[in-house]
Homo-oligomer: A and B are copies of this chain.
């Protein structure tokens, strides 16, 4: 499985892929145009640094192009040429423009080995030092094969993505771009605008950022993202992003109208719909065959969760997934345990014997 994997571009994603590859591959090599980045990536991940692309991809089965979005198409075309036996994937944040430009730059006979892709892990941080082998654990990794792509190439990438612990999802490039405009690029723009506005107001009213607490920090964390990388990403998805901004401004406008002329009940209902959706998002279980969700209310104090997990552990129950979901009304939190079907009985007994209530099995 991926006897030799190469990453071209050794930033946070490239280095994280190299770390993940090291767990399952015989060899991992890498190249970056910045020799400092390359050596930090090699130190962090153990990849073999190469002096050029041709050397890096020699003998590779799978190559990931992980450079800033503007340089991806040219590099994919070059790698396809240099590594004649390899499946080549990019990891760019938008797909229509990348896939289209690769089609016009690469040799027609090489296109079958190219698979556009986008791992949805990530961080507002960049560079090899922000990399982590766990960045891709459980992350959705979108694959956007087209009619040019050989079925075997897409399957090979898909198998590899699963084997490093990410979740492959196939999607049309245009649909991908529309969805990420809404859930990734729009949040970036909103975060940037909120931070920019508050910083400007702060110049006139120096108490402004003094009063900025946790909520403001949550909303502006993305604003710290790498400006050069993100300028290119946003521009590469300009049309879909513009449409997403317009939808968002319309949504804000509706809330504004409710605030100005609606009843308290109208406004509460608007907030309530979003609350419900956000709690459902927090509780969204990983969809897997043969698993069940067991809900256990636990008091919100140090040690309560430890008592629960210890009770389950004493029975030999393996917890596949665990999420703490806090009640918006305050009060107790609820733990959602994802368990193999056969573990539900023992887990329920163990939790009850430990003094916990088992609310509901879904």
Contact = CB atoms under 8 A, between A and B. Distances in A.
A122 interface: yes
Given A224-B278, A313-B302, A330-B125, A235 B214 contact: no
Interface stretch (A99-107, A109-117, A239-247): A239-247
A278 B328 contact: no
Contact of A322 (B126, B290, B322): B322
Interface in A285-312: 286-288, 290-291, 295, 297, 299-303, 305-307, 309-310, 312
A256 B270 contact: no
A319 B304 CA distance: 10
Interface stretch (A48-56, A73-81, A82-90, A186-194): A186-194
Given A140-B211, A165-B329, A211-B183, A268 B228 contact: yes
A272 interface: yes
Interface string A193-207: 111111101100101
A190 B274 CA distance: 11
Most buried by B among A176, A191, A329: A329
Contacts of A226: 275, 328-330
A281 B223 CA distance: 11
Given A190-B219, A198-B183, A329 B214 contact: no
Contacts of A275: 223-227
B227 A195 contact: no
Most buried by B among A219, A278, A310: A278
A129 B330 contact: yes
B215 A187 contact: yes
Contact of A248 (B120, B193, B290): B193
Most buried by B among A121, A163, A209, A269: A209
A248 B228 CA distance: 23
16 contacts: A121-B213, A122-B215, A132-B295, A183-B211, A183-B216, A187-B194, A187-B215, A191-B215, A214-B288, A218-B219, A220-B281, A235-B259, A245-B256, A249-B253, A321-B326, A322-B324
A182 B196 contact: no
